[in-house]
A and B are shown apart, each in its own frame.
Chain A
Amino acid sequence: MPKLSLSHFEAAVLFAFFTSIVMGVTTKRTDQDRVRYAAQCFAYFLVALFGLSWLMYLGHG
């Protein structure tokens, strides 16, 4: 199995992507709701990712 080396950002985005899809598929009842919820979750993940990254950057001084 090849070894993979990802940055923090790439790994976090991939995590957010797959998790959002599964959450959308398993929690909603119609396809439209599933797509919308998955997109919403992914957007929230990205907002949290950028927000926490900036928080840590600014907090580090």
Chain B
Amino acid sequence: MAEHETVSTAPLPPPGKWAPVVALAWLVPGGGHFLLKRSGRGLILLGCVVLMFLLGIMMRGAMFQPQTGDLLTTVIYWGGFIGDLCAGALYLISVWLGYNQPDIAGHVHDYGTKFLVAAGLLNLLAIVDAFEIATGRKE
């Protein structure tokens, strides 16, 4: 039997209440949870996203650059770029420090590229969770 959860339909609070949380959650993985005094969950999210990202870097994964062309190329490269960007400060610092690994053949590099994107996507889940807590839709 499927579980049913009640979905809150309360109006969205003013951006001043949740925008700083979302911004910090993007910039620092788990940061939104720390700001909302959910330190335990924030620490777990921080650990998972940072470790995932560092493993991606240590496997010499490539960062996606936005590219256009046929539909598949556009979706993969723009999607990958947005995924990388979701890692926040981790992405910005690694690019700022000059990390620029070319996309080369090999399963380790390939996994590294996926780990970098996955770290960003996991941070996106953390951002959405922080947003829901900040807007009172979740504890």
Contact = CB atoms under 8 A, between A and B. Distances in A.
Interface of A: 1-6, 8, 11-12, 14-15, 18-19, 21-23, 25-27, 29
B128 A26 contact: yes
B108 A18 contact: no
Contacts of A26: 45, 125-126, 128-129
Contact of B122 (A1, A11, A14, A19): A19
A1 to B, nearest CB: 6
Interface of B: 41, 44-45, 48-49, 51-52, 54-55, 57-60, 107-108, 111, 114-115, 118, 122, 125-126, 128-129, 138-139
B48 A4 contact: no
B41 A25 contact: yes
Contacts of B57: 1
A1 B45 contact: no
A4 B114 CA distance: 15
Contacts of A18: 48, 51-52, 118, 122
A8 B129 contact: no
A38 B108 CA distance: 26
Given A2-B58, A22-B44, 8 more contacts: A4-B55, A11-B59, A14-B55, A15-B115, A15-B118, A21-B48, A25-B44, A29-B138
Contacts of B128: 26
A19 B55 contact: no
Contacts of A12: 111
Contacts of A22: 44-45, 48-49, 122, 125-126
Given A3-B60, A4-B58, A21-B48, A11 B118 contact: no
Q: Report which residue of A4, A6, A26, A27 has the largest number of chain B beta carbons within 10 angstroms of its beta carbon.
A: A26
